[in-house]
């Protein structure tokens, strides 16, 4: 009886796995035909070409992504006179970002340097590193899936990568919608600032969690050194004020600056005019233009 049961379960699972694989193969084939430019989509994998050489890789959370949204990407490339690939992603901490960087190299690409737009809050919560469903708006690629299968991303994130391809959103996929970045903030709303500052620390401030993710940063630096990539950490401007954990972040960057060939710049307090922001946390198109010309263009 038990053998019959096991046999039937095996057959049933086999059929289901076969159906799922067939659908994934179809999606993989369909998605590979899509060819989006970086500024047309939030999906990082679409931004990663094969065997290309770039001057600069931009990494980070939304603070890195904003340099590619809308017309910013081409504008920033022009100002800096650099060929840029942007692999940063909204709400992404170091763990998913490191996976994107590895995938970039796996595809035979090369670059000279990395600018990592770094925030203190990504060191303090698994939400930004292991729990959020970073991969739901990424196309399905078997090679990327096998890569992340053995990564630090949680099994939920990996499962959701597959599951998300069975959603209506993905079936109708036309590259994810980009947020509006033209608008201007008229004034600083202190309540909204406070709310935002709290929301980015969902797990509080744990030293243990900080140590966990700072060790991944050290791995990233080792990886960059092995690839002869110059790495620069940049604390971006915001209207959120002095965020919790900023002191620890700066200390961490100072310490690794001593040991490794990295540079870091703190621009957190540089732009206080709300007209350069579309919300309290992100520069609008004018802000990106101003910040790139006034500050980033001087980074050597």
Partner 1 sequence: MLFNSIGFALFLPIVFILYWFATRGNLKLQNILLLVSSYYFYSCWDYRFLFLLIFSTLLDYFTGIKINETEKYKKRTFWLWLSICVNLGFLGVFKYYNFFAESFAEGLLNFGIKADFVTIQVVLPVGISFYTFHGLSYVIDIYKNRIKPERNFINYSVFVSFFPLLVAGPIERATHLLPQIIKKRKFDYSKAVDGLRQILWGFLKKIVIADNCAEYANTIFNNSADYSGSTLVLGALFFAFQIYCDFSGYSDIAIGTAKLFGIDLLRNFAFPYFSRDIAEFWRRWHISLSSWFRDYLYIPLGGSRVGVWLKIRNTFIIFLLSGFWHGANWTFIIWGLLNAVYIMPSIIFNTNRNNLDMVAKGKLFPTLMEILSIALTFGLTVFAWIFFRANNVKHAIGYISKIFSNTLFTIPNFPGIEKSPPIIILTFLFLIVEWIGREQQFAISTLGLKWPRIVRWALYNIVILTIIYFAGTKQQFIYFQF
Residue 55: name the closest of 299, 267, 295 by CA. Answer: 299
Helix axes 246-259, 207-226, angle to 10 degrees: 30
Q: How far is the CB of 15 from partner 1 (least distance, A)?
A: 7
The residues with which 59 forms a beta bridge, in sequence order, are 116
What is the closest distance, in whole angstroms, from the C-beta atom of residue 298 to partner 1 in the complex? Answer: 43
Nearer to partner 1, 166 or 242 (CB): 166
CB 94 within 8 Å of CB 217: yes
Nearest Cα residue to 123 out of 49, 60, 210, 198:
210
Q: Would you say 25 or 166 has its CB closer to partner 1?
A: 166
For partner 1, which is the closer residue by CB, 171 or 299?
A: 171
Reference 116, options 76, 60, 62, 61; nearest CA is 60
Backbone φ and ψ of 74, nearest 5°: -65, -35
Min. distance of Cβ 163 from partner 1 in angstroms?
6
When the beta carbons of 9 and 275 are compared against partner 1, the nearer one is 9
**Shorter beta-carbon distance to partner 1: residue 159 or 242:** 159
The span from the CA of 49 to the CA of 289, in Å, is 26
The residues that touch partner 1, with contacts defined as CB under 8 A, are 1-2, 4-5, 12, 15-16, 19, 155-156, 158-159, 163, 166-168
Asked if 8 contacts 40 with a C-beta cutoff of 8 angstroms, the reply is no
What whole-number distance in Å separates Cα of residue 200 and Cα of residue 91? 9
Name the residue nearer to partner 1 (CB basis): 134 or 264. Answer: 134
**Closest separation in Å from C-beta 189 to partner 1:** 18
In angstroms, what is the minimal distance from the CB of 295 to partner 1?
A: 37
Rounded to whole angstroms, the Cα distance separating 138 from 42 reads 8
- Least distance between partner 1 and beta carbon 12 (Å): 6
């Amino acid at each position: 009886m038990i053998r019959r049961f096991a046999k039937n379960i095996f057959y049933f699972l086999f059929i289901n796995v076969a159906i799922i694989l067939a659908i994934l193969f179809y999606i993989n084939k369909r998605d590979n035909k899509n060819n989006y430019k970086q500024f047309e989509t939030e999906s990082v994998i679409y931004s990663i070409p094969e065997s290309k050489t770039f001057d600069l890789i931009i990494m980070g959370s939304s603070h890195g992504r904003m340099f590619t949204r809308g017309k910013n990407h081409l504008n920033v490339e022009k100002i800096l006179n650099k060929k840029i690939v942007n692999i940063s992603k909204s709400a992404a901490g170091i763990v998913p970002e490191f996976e994107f960087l590895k995938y970039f190299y796996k595809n035979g690409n090369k670059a000279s340097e990395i600018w990592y737009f770094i925030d203190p809050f990504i060191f303090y919560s698994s939400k930004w590193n292991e729990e959020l469903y970073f991969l739901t708006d990424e196309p399905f690629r078997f090679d990327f899936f096998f890569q992340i299968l053995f990564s630090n991303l949680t099994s939920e994130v990996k499962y959701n990568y597959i599951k998300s391809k069975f959603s209506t959103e993905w079936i109708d996929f036309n590259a994810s919608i980009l947020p509006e970045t033209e608008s201007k903030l008229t004034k600083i709303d202190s309540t909204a600032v406070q709310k935002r500052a709290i929301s980015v620390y969902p797990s509080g401030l744990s030293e243990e969690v900080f140590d966990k993710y700072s060790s991944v940063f050290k791995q990233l630096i080792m990886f960059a050194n092995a690839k002869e990539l110059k790495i620069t950490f940049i604390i971006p401007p915001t209207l959120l004020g002095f965020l919790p954990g900023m002191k620890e972040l700066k200390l961490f960057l100072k310490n690794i600056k001593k040991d490794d060939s990295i540079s870091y710049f703190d621009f957190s307090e540089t732009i206080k005019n709300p007209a350069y922001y579309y919300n309290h946390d992100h520069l609008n198109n004018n802000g990106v233009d101003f910040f790139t010309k006034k500050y980033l263009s001087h980074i050597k």
